[in-house]
Amino acid sequence: MTCQTPRSDPGESLPDSSGRELQVAASQQYQGRAVGEPGLLARLVVEHADGSRQVVVSDGSWRVARGPWLSLPYRNDDGRDYIEGVDGRIAQRQQGWNRPGFDASSWQSPQVVGVHPAGVFRHLRSQQTRLAYRTVRPVTVTRLASGAVVADFGTIIPAVPQVRFAHGVSGRTIEMRAGYVRNADGTVSDSAHDNQKTDLSYQYIQHDGAQSFQAYTYEGFRYLQIDDPGEPLSASSIAAVVQHTDADPARAATFHSSDPTLDAVAELMRRSALYDSQEQFLDTPTREKGQFLGDSVDVSRALMAGSGDRALTARAIREFAESQRRYWPDGRMNAVYPNGDGKRDIPDYTEMFPGWVWEYYLNSGDRATLAATYPASAAIADYIRRYIDPATGLVTKLAGGSGAYQYGIIDWPNRYGYDTDTTARTTVNILAVDALRRTADQATALGRPKAEADALRADAAKVAEAVNDRLRRPDGRYTDGLKADGSQSAHASQIANAYAIAFGIAPEASVDTIADHLVSLKLQMGPMTANWLLTALHRAGRDDQVLARFTDRTSLGWANILARGGTFTWESWEAPDDGQSLSHGWGATALVDLQQDLLGLNVTGTAATTLRIRPPRDTELTHAEGTVWTQAGTVGVRWNTTAHGTEVKVDIPVNTTAEVEVPLAGGRAPKAGGAGPDGASAPRFEGVRNGYAIYTVGSGRSTFTPAA
């Protein structure tokens, strides 16, 4: 086992069966571990080829020494990473510390706390995830007039920089800095505004001769500047080791369409979600690496859709359930966990949990995780119920949060005018309805008593009714909530109205009116929540506007990130102007909407046992094709629309049934054909619904061509 940080890396030696020494490096981390005292507790069981067995435990026989890292301050006051400075001379003296036979006689004895055995930790689980690494070279290397060298890696990456020097001079200090953007003179910006208030500098003290510097802790960056390296450096001398959760590359989603901007947006979201997934889901790979609940829901959805990963989501769901057991007997959950913050919540993040669990179960079929975390969802439902005001039927002053998060974060960081002077907030109430409904779905799937699920659905229906009775204006639009005196807010935000359609609250008769309001506002929801605007537009039959929001390069949105040179989804649409994060994965969650609404693929049955494939109509998009990995296997969809109608081709994995909906052409159903690998019959025509011809197909390839 090896694990180091710039701050603490004692190499601890222990004897093996031959009398030689083995070495282990220990570390202290703030993110990814719940608050507690740092230390190393180890029990290693070694089974040798000759059949002998050896048990080694951490005790006073170990030896420790500080590594070559310099004592430097935090990079910022948030993420708890340290500025990395390495003394290559010490590293040279310690070379081979992690190999048998290293002489550690001059090292110190450790401070030992307690004695073995320490008992059995039955509440712990084995590591469910691992990281993947790859080395990349810069796409360009530029030497500035000052002698500094600037490497551009082409996109923002979560990585550690690596520089190889051929002619080092002992004692010479090399100053380096990573960054997100360059200044007009070509140097890498080190301003707090451009780098999430984070010092991305590095120091390296050389020894004589050939050597390499490699940082240990990853950060997000695009550029690396090496000041006065003392020798020529090229792309072969500079690299970055990129890391992310170990998602199977064979499961990566693909997407190509008639709109190049849409294709670029799809790749932006897929890559951003993957890069924002490390040992845990991240806030950002630079400023703060904490696993926030709201961020995790967003990034998890995109990671499942874009990379086919399930393991990190399962792990995160269980970790947040553990935060409830640790801190919140009233049913809340930590806003960020596990990390060193201790007890900390955001009410509407807690409300998101049951829906997240249900979506994970629908995609994975993981009944064990559903069962293990159902008590957490049930506790959330009870937490919500306690704040339903009997006088209004609305969730009011849902306890939790502090400062700007009290009673609910709503959106972040820009709320686009949402009326926060409300005590019964529309967004909080609609999320409450969803939490109750999805908890009921979980109860049904687990075979719990029918009365339990019925009660949850009944309470959800009552809150939904109260939302429609008390939070709508006469014109059908939703206000931002009720004030303390019972009066309605005068503001009708985009997020309140998008939620109403997206979560199935708005009456059908009001949907067109609300959708017109949503379209008139373009995009006034942050990257954290904007996917629900797309869901609402799709459910209102406005796929043309779904496409517009994805591809409008001139106003807020994903295409505008690309137009402004972004290569990673942002914390806010205004991030370059406001100094917000340029590497926030939560904006990637809309990849799900792109696949569902514009490619046309929806998972409808647990573990993809059933699918629905329905290409969009009435958009400027004329062609789309892609693949999405599901629990049943990879699904392929290809559609092409011409003046004669829409041609559709689908590839369905075994043990899966798909409902394929093909737009009618001139009122006529298409010609259908295809057979599965077992010689199954052709697609079965089920009838016509809402201008689509409906077919049921099994595994294999099926094709639908416009009737002549």
Confidence class for position 382, pLDDT limits 50, 70, 90? very high
Euclidean distance between CA atoms 534 and 539, whole angstroms? 9
pLDDT tens sequence across 209-233: 999 999 999 999 999 999 999 999 9
Closest by CA position to 571, among listed 541, 530, 514, 607: 530
How is residue 502 written in tokens? 């997206």
Closest by CA position to 310, among listed 253, 248, 254: 248
Give me the torsion for CA of 269, 275, 279, 285, rounded to 10°.
-110
Omega prior to 338 cis, within 30 of 0: yes
pLDDT tens sequence across 101-147: 999 999 999 999 887 777 888 888 888 899 999 999 999 999 999 99
Contacts of 447 (CB under 8 A, 6+ apart): none
Confidence class for position 456, pLDDT limits 50, 70, 90? very high
193-198 contact pairs (CB < 8 A, 24+): 193/579, 194/579, 195/286, 196/76, 196/284, 196/286, 196/287, 196/579, 196/580, 196/581, 196/582, 196/583, 197/76, 197/78, 197/287, 197/579, 198/75, 198/76, 198/79, 198/286, 198/287
Tell me the whole-structure pTM to 2 decimals: 0.94
- Spell out a b/e string for 184-219, using b for 16 or more CB atoms within 10 Å of the CB, else e: eeebbbbeeebbbbbbbbbbbbbbeeebebebbbbb
Mean of pLDDT values over 622-650: 98
Euclidean distance between CA atoms 673 and 682, whole angstroms? 5
For residue 120, what pLDDT is reported? 83
Burial class (CB in 10 A: 0-12, 13-18, 19+), 16: middle
pLDDT tens sequence across 489-545: 999 999 999 999 999 999 999 999 999 999 999 999 999 999 999 999 999 999 999
Contact 312, 245 (CB under 8 A): yes
Q: What percent of the chain has pLDDT over 90?
A: 87
What is the per-residue DSSP string for 290-328? --BHHHHHHHHHHHHHHH---HHHHHHHHHHHHHHHHH-
| Res 367 pLDDT > 50 | yes
For residue 19, what pLDDT is reported? 42
Enumerate the domain spans of the chain. Answer: 1-67+98-124, 131-245, 310-521, 603-705
Topology of 310-521 in CATH?
Glycosyltransferase (1.50.10)
Same fold, 131-245 and 603-705: no
| Res 473 pLDDT > 60 | yes
Per CATH, domain 603-705 is 2.60.420.10: yes
Average pLDDT, the chain: 94
Closest by CA position to 424, among listed 400, 394, 386: 394
Closest by CA position to 430, among listed 362, 514, 361: 514
Q: Mean pLDDT lowest for which of 26-40, 301-315, 458-472?
A: 26-40
Rounded to a whole number, what is the distance in angstroms from the first to the last CA of the chain? 66
For residue 427, what pLDDT is reported? 99
Contact 57, 43 (CB under 8 A): yes
| Res 461 pLDDT > 60 | yes
Mean of pLDDT values over 270-280: 98
Mean of pLDDT values over 552-576: 99
Higher pLDDT, residue 120 or 240: 240
Query: Looking at this protein, which amino acid is placed at residue 174?
Result: I
Mean of pLDDT values over 319-336: 98
Strand partners, 164: 212
Mean of pLDDT values over 154-167: 99
Give the Cβ contact number of residue 594 at 10 Å.
28
Q: Which architecture characterizes domain 131-245 according to CATH?
A: Sandwich (2.60)
